[in-house]
Amino acid sequence: MSATSPVRPVLPPDIRARKGSEPLVVLTAYSTPVARLVDAHCDIVLVGDSVGMVIHGLPSTLGVTMEMMILHGKAVVRGAQKAMPVIDMPFGSYEEGPQQAFRNAARLMSETGAPAVKLEGGQHMAETIAFLTARGVPVMAHVGLTPQSVNTLGGYKVVGRAEEAEKVMADARAVEAAGAFSVVLEKVPEGLAARITQELTIPTIGIGAGVRCDGQVLVVDDMLGLFTEFRPKFVKRYAELGKAADEAIAAYAAEVRSRAFPAAEHSFPDVLPVKK
Ligand code: KIV
């Protein structure tokens, strides 16, 4: 599968048709080797703008650029043979209006080969989502906590408690009506996420939104224990690769210093005798 392949094996209508059946399994990836690992087990591989924080060391997702998303998107599409790649639209690439959003979404799709994009926002993004879907751009929506709005939300808080619940419900209804093929619910109280999942006809993909969504997504570096700067409550660590890597690097450093590495089996014998 490559950017030039005509049709991928899983496309947005296939994901939409999974509503109410077996849970959708989604992980992020930012490189070809990790995309290959994710591809073997997941339905969707998300090139999240979380790449800015977990790979590039940025303090938030706000500094992520189109060029970063295209570079990582190309790498992931190369590694994903069956899982469907989705690319995040970075902050500032779609909020001005439908035309700007179409121009940048088309660039993400044509330059990477991914068949869909994701963007953040509910009712206020409905016009843009409708514009994109009518023009051949499948959109995964993202409501609840939308990290690109961290400064207006006042932090990475749970969104949708008490009277805020009806606003999140209205956001979810609006993105469905606009034509999104699925919607991420981030850091939404579990009862509200269950209500949204029950009412919507498109799949909901939860992250910190409880078990009653149609699928789940995590940032791969979080669940592998590679990104350890902070750990939201919704992250379950399935491995401690950061700790394993630290131990391996410490062992390498000690062996280089003690000249235990490289050993004979890592070296190349001379053909001619070495002159003393
Ligand atoms: O950027 C990202 O990785 C995301 C997921 C957390 C849903 O948007």
Pocket lining: 27 vs ligand 1, CB cutoff 6 Å: no
Catalytic residue among 111, 120, 176, 186: 186
pTM of the model: 0.95
Instruction: For residue 90, report the distance from its CA to the centre of ligand 1, in Å.
Output: 11
Ligand 1 pocket test target in 25, 76, 143, 184 with most atoms within 8 Å of CB: 184
Is 186 an active-site residue?
yes
Whether 138 maps to a domain, the answer reads yes
Pocket lining: 141 vs ligand 1, CB cutoff 6 Å: no
Domain that holds residue 200: 12-247
Count of domains observed in the chain = 1
Model confidence over 202-224: pLDDT tens digits?
999 999 999 999 999 999 999 99
Q: How confident is the model at residue 272 (pLDDT cuts 50, 70, 90)?
A: confident
Whether 83 maps to a domain, the answer reads yes
> What does the H/E/C string look like for the chain?
CCCCCCCCCCCHHHHHCCCCCCCEEEEECCCHHHHHHHHCCCCEEEECCCHHHHCCCCCCHHHCCHHHHHHHHHHHHHHCCCCEEEEECCCCCCCCCHHHHHHHHHHHHHHHCCCCEEEEECHHHHHHHHHHHHCCCCEEEEEECCHHHHHHHCCCCCCCCCCHHHHHHHHHHHHHHHCCCEEEEECCCHHHHHHHHHHCCCCEEEECCCCCCCEEEECHHHHCCCCCCCCCCCCCCCCCHHHHHHHHHHHHHHHHHCCCCCCHHHCCCCCCCCCC
Pocket lining: 48 vs ligand 1, CB cutoff 6 Å: yes
Whether 130 maps to a domain, the answer reads yes
Pocket lining: 49 vs ligand 1, CB cutoff 6 Å: yes
Model confidence over 230-244: pLDDT tens digits?
889 999 999 999 999
Angle between helices 32-39 and 66-79 (to 10 degrees): 50
Model confidence over 91-115: pLDDT tens digits?
999 999 999 999 999 999 999 999 9
Whether 263 maps to a domain, the answer reads no
What is the CATH number for 104? 3.20.20.60
Whether 89 maps to a domain, the answer reads yes
Pocket lining: 122 vs ligand 1, CB cutoff 6 Å: no
Whether 128 maps to a domain, the answer reads yes
Using CB atoms within 10 A of its CB, is residue 94 exposed (0-12), middle (13-18) or buried (19+)?
buried
Whether 3 maps to a domain, the answer reads no
Using CB atoms within 10 A of its CB, is residue 208 exposed (0-12), middle (13-18) or buried (19+)?
buried
Instruction: For residue 260, report the distance from its CA to the centre of ligand 1, in Å.
Output: 43
Whether 43 maps to a domain, the answer reads yes
Model confidence over 140-154: pLDDT tens digits?
999 999 999 999 999
